[in-house]
Structure 1
Amino acid sequence: AAELELCCHCGTPLKLHPEGKAVRIPRLYQIEQVTTKRADRITSDDEERQRLGYELITTYEFPKENGVVKVAKAQVSCAGQPLLELSYAPATQISRVNLGWRRRENKNDMGFPIHPTNGQWGGEKDLRGDAADDDGPEVGFVKITPYVQDRKNALLVRFLGDWQPTQLVSVKSAIKRGIEVAFQLDGSEIAAELMPNEEFATALLLYESAEGGAGALSRLVENASSLHAVAKTALEICHWSWDGEMPALEAQLVNADPECEAGCYRCLLGYHNQRDHDLIDRQQPELKQWLLDLARCELVGQGGVDGRSTILERLKDLAGSGLEKLWLDTLYNHGHHLPDNAQQEVPGH
């Protein structure tokens, strides 16, 4: 139970926090199958849905093997100054939760009405008016918070330094576009989400949202040249150019498209980030300098998860008898999964 009160990535206690770092979501229900029907005309309700939109949040959990998080990590620095911490893992569990209408009055009122017997979605009026009668067998609408879940290759980019969440909106768009162009990917193949949310953002979660990612994210944590290519491409996408060698200071960049002010559909603006258009600014000095630093960065402290031999030695150190060590050696030599832990006490047994 104690483990459930801690963040699976950083170990921070998951207590309700006044700054929104943690939130309790009621009545979670995983949606695995849906049925739709074609409509010849949309109604005013559909238009309202498109206009308002949903409040979505994304969560992630890196995979574990033998009780150890299976993640490759690297630190990124430029001229001795730390820029980023990278954490990459294949088959990361990505969950997308739909909390409700974005403009609902009560933010604590999460979820949507659904009929438990036929699975048909309803509205608030159904939730109020279709309660089951005391004398009848009919079941009324109930409210659930739907979510979907899948496993994707994912890269967590944790920003080091003094950043404002609003500034990271531009960084997110620049990095996503840089990856797409540098690795020749379609816009739907890579997803980018500020974590834990846009209001309190400190990190960026990138994951392969469709087949065909071509291992782009793993290459970013393996060698600095891939980071250099993404940063250089992002600068060019943002209409910045330079003569000769790449400059070290953002003030030395040349504006290749003066007609584009904060952004345009040829650089950082697009259909997928329409809600961010008011915050995106390609001329942000912090963004330009950060991309320049990333274009000449170094990867330091690169490393992955402990190998099987390291896990074996850890378990043997915890073993209480020679028989346990012999059993562990047998598992190891035959290629079987090793235990998650040793000498674990089970209450009541």
Structure 2
Amino acid sequence: MVDDTCNILVIEPLSVPQDNKEAFIATLQYTLETAIQAVYKLEPDELDSERLGEGKYLLFWEASEGGAGVLSQLLQQPNAFQRIAHAALDICHFLEPKDTCVQACYECLLSYRNQFDHPLINRHLIKPLLEELQGSAVEISGVFRDEQYQKLLSQTDPNSNFERVVLQEIYQRGYKLPDAAQELIPEANCKPDFVYKEEAIALFCDGSVHDNPEQKKQDKIERDNLRYNASYQILTLRHDEDWREKLEILGSL
């Protein structure tokens, strides 16, 4: 018996035209799958999907071992579906028309993997929805955000109250929460206090222990490794400075 875990996302389309319903859902499935792969630079075998409940739901899951955490990121980024919709309009030849593509082609939505659905796929059916999604925003329920906040609190260094003060400030301002706390970045052999993975931002909360000269030297080595070996942006907050002002950069995530 083999156990595996992966991120999943279930979507329930609400505005589904009753005529061509099956074709609409099938087209939406492959359009979203292809656009997510494009936006987040995933290989075709890293993301998969299927229709559930007679087409009432669309199930997406990260098929590669471990996953890239993309589907969870979709729920944490207010403009995620705006980006996906824009990519989908481009993929479906609506931004740069292709006269030889009638309903769909192998340059947009058709593939060997979805060949049994080729008769259903029609890019024109989902154009109005994609245009509407360009003005959409993801709203995260309080429960989901609270769970993430509590999870991050449990991951912080028990000896660093400053980390928890910073995390509380991020939470109370309504900023995007970090993806993880105290997680090892192998390329740099370093554990930032908090990490934003997609944005490649490492956040360090330096309490008084980091005033020690030897600790400062070690901090510089680790953070240079993060910057140059793992291409992370470093955001350092010191306990003895106006660190709250520095946090404003997170408001744009």
TM range (shorter): 0.5 to 0.7
Return the structure number with greater strand share: 1
Call closer, same or farther: CA 1:193–1:294 in 2, change over 3 Å: same
Return the structure number with greater helix share: 2
Tell me the equivalent position of 2:64.
210
- Equivalents in 2 of 1:222, 1:168: separation in Å? 25
Tell me the equivalent position of 1:154.
8
Mind listing any 5+ residue stretches in structure 1 that lack a counterpart?
1-31, 34-148, 242-254, 311-349
- Write the deviation string for residues 9-41 of structure 1: whole angstroms up to 9, x where unpaired: xxxxxxxxxxxxxxxxxxxxxxx48xxxxxxxx
Matched, 1:268 2:123: no
- What fraction of aligned residue pairs are identical, expressed as a percent? 30
Mind listing any 5+ residue stretches in structure 2 that lack a counterpart?
151-253
Q: Tell me how far 1:203 sits from its aligned partner.
A: 1.2
Amino acid at match of 1:296: G
Q: Which moved more, 1:297-306 or 1:218-227?
A: 297-306
- Equivalents in 2 of 1:231, 1:162: separation in Å? 17
Cα contact 2:75–2:140 (8 A) shared by 1: no
Structure 1 or 2, whichever has the larger Rg, is 1
Matched, 1:172 2:26: no
Q: How many residue pairs end up in the alignment? A: 146
Cα contact 1:191–1:209 (8 A) shared by 2: yes
Tell me the equivalent position of 1:288.
127
Amino acid at match of 1:191: D
Cα contact 2:62–2:68 (8 A) shared by 1: no
- Equivalents in 1 of 2:148, 2:75: separation in Å? 22
Q: Tell me how far 1:223 sits from its aligned partner.
A: 1.5
- Write the deviation string for residues 46-83 of structure 1: whole angstroms up to 9, x where unpaired: xxxxxxxxxxxxxxxxxxxxxxxxxxxxxxxxxxxxxx
Which structure 2 residues correspond to residues 166-205 of structure 1 after superposition, within 5 A?
Answer: 166-196=23-53, 200-205=54-59
Tell me the equivalent position of 2:233.
none
Which of the pair has the greater relative contact order for Cα pairs under 8 Å at 6+ separation? Answer: 1
Call closer, same or farther: CA 1:307–1:217 in 2, change over 3 Å: closer
Cα contact 1:194–1:205 (8 A) shared by 2: yes
Q: Runs of at least 4 residues of structure 1 off by over 6 A?
A: none
Call closer, same or farther: CA 1:211–1:160 in 2, change over 3 Å: same
Query: TM-score, normalized by length of structure 1?
Result: 0.39
- Write the deviation string for residues 126-162 of structure 1: whole angstroms up to 9, x where unpaired: xxxxxxxxxxxxxxxxxxxxxxx74211111111123
- Equivalents in 2 of 1:293, 1:162: separation in Å? 13
Call closer, same or farther: CA 1:269–1:302 in 2, change over 3 Å: same
Which structure 2 residues correspond to residues 308-319 of structure 1 after superposition, within 5 A?
Answer: none
Call closer, same or farther: CA 1:276–1:308 in 2, change over 3 Å: closer
Q: Tell me how far 1:283 sits from its aligned partner.
A: 1.8
- Equivalents in 1 of 2:143, 2:107: separation in Å? 38
Call closer, same or farther: CA 1:218–1:259 in 2, change over 3 Å: same
